[in-house]
Amino acid sequence: MRDSTDSLPEALTTAAEKHFGGPVKLSGLQSLTGGSSSESWSFDAEFNQQHFQLVLRRTAGKTERAPIDKRTEAILQQLAAQKNVPVATIRFILDEEDGLGPGYVMDRIPGETIPRKILRDGEYAEARKNLSRQCGSILARIHSIEAGSLPPLDKTPVREQIHRLMTVPQIYKENVPTFEFAVRWMMDHRPPERSPGLVHGDFRNGNLVVGPEGIRAVLDWELAHLGDPMEDLGYISINSWRFGNIDQPVGGFGQREDLFSGYEEEGGLKVDKEAVHFWEVFSTFKWGIICIVQGHAHLSGSVRSVNRAATGRRVSETEVDLMNLLGY
């Protein structure tokens, strides 16, 4: 049975002692900003005269069903670490007996995740020069993880994904002609099928821990799935993740040419620029659908949130972005 917030320190201490294998002293437990399907808590732990700075990441109490479970999310990060992808070390994965719900505990990586600071603060000026190429290199390593070593992941064909997403506006009685136009374009311009590989699914500025020297960790693996690796290259380039720096398409900090060079130099597939463009259109469309869902979650009262309300207002931005991408 899942703990209440009041009993979390005791339950977490008990779980840590079981997984570490001895007495653990916890301190500084603090809730962090989380997503819609996850919650995160930072804390410090003392074990065997060693100090650990940690994060508990677990399924949120009231949530939509997460795309993948927390155990799978943790395993993917462990596999990524074996390919020298910068990720937080997983210290242990929770089990049912821990009473904390699905989740895991990982190292807390110092650094910045707020895009506004990464893109504008002088502290990250040198890092920004190489972030795009670094992203390409990291994505190549992620995509090199052997499919046979992966836990079960969704591999829905893109045609079905498009149809599934387009039902969402109908459910909420939203009429978005721009989305309907984009769907017709995507159905006519789907890239050739290729052997599916691991796709991070949410690789973008905001899910990267950055220090003055560059990227320290890739976060938020809950949208990982099997698909076309070109999807990640298109996703990071959508206008929504540029945070105002529209002339720097990769995360607001770099150019596609550097992203592609870093990817190919690290041993990634030869970049299919037409496929990347398709996935940029698809990802913009998908983000627009997510904005609709987030907005209605607030309006319906199911999850009252200023953040969700603000996200819901961004549907029109994705419409403009789609028209620009499609040449109108």
Q: Do residues 146 and 96 both lie within one domain?
A: no
What span, in angstroms and rounded, lies between the C-alpha atoms of 114 and 134? Answer: 18
Q: Do residues 138 and 272 both lie within one domain?
A: yes
How many structural domains are present in the chain? Answer: 2
Q: Please provide residue 118's backbone torsions phi and psi, each rounded to the nearest 5 degrees.
A: -60, -35
The answer to whether 119 and 23 are in contact (CB under 8 A) is no
What span, in angstroms and rounded, lies between the C-alpha atoms of 53 and 255? Answer: 35
CATH number at residue 255: 3.90.1200.10
What domain range includes position 120?
115-325
In order, the DSSP letters of 23-34 are --EEEEEEEE--
Q: Do residues 198 and 152 both lie within one domain?
A: yes
Q: Is the pLDDT assigned to residue 1 strictly greater than 60? A: no
Within a domain: 13: no
Q: What tokens does 19 get?
A: 């997984």
Q: Is the pLDDT assigned to residue 13 strictly greater than 60? A: yes
Nearest Cα neighbor of 283 from 227, 232, 328, 224 is 232
Range 287-302 average pLDDT: 93
Within a domain: 200: yes
Render pLDDT for 185-228 as a digit per residue (tens, 0 to 9).
999 999 998 899 999 999 999 999 999 999 999 999 999 999 99
Q: What pTM value is reported for the model?
A: 0.94
Q: Do residues 145 and 197 both lie within one domain?
A: yes
3-state DSSP call for residue 254?
strand
Render pLDDT for 231-254 as a digit per residue (tens, 0 to 9).
999 999 999 999 999 999 999 999
Of 94 and 328, the one with more pLDDT? 94
Within a domain: 6: no
Q: What is the pLDDT of residue 60?
A: 75
Last residue of a domain, one of 66, 88, 107: 107
Mean pLDDT of the chain: 94
Range 40-67 average pLDDT: 87
The answer to whether 131 and 115 are in contact (CB under 8 A) is no
User: Tell me, what DSSP letter sits at residue 98?
Assistant: G
Q: What is the pLDDT of residue 2?
A: 55
Render pLDDT for 59-74 as a digit per residue (tens, 0 to 9).
876 555 567 999 999 9
Q: Do residues 138 and 176 both lie within one domain?
A: yes
Weakest mean pLDDT among 30-44, 83-97, 125-139: 30-44
Within a domain: 168: yes
What span, in angstroms and rounded, lies between the C-alpha atoms of 44 and 65? Answer: 29
Last residue of a domain, one of 107, 137, 170: 107
What span, in angstroms and rounded, lies between the C-alpha atoms of 36 and 56? Answer: 16
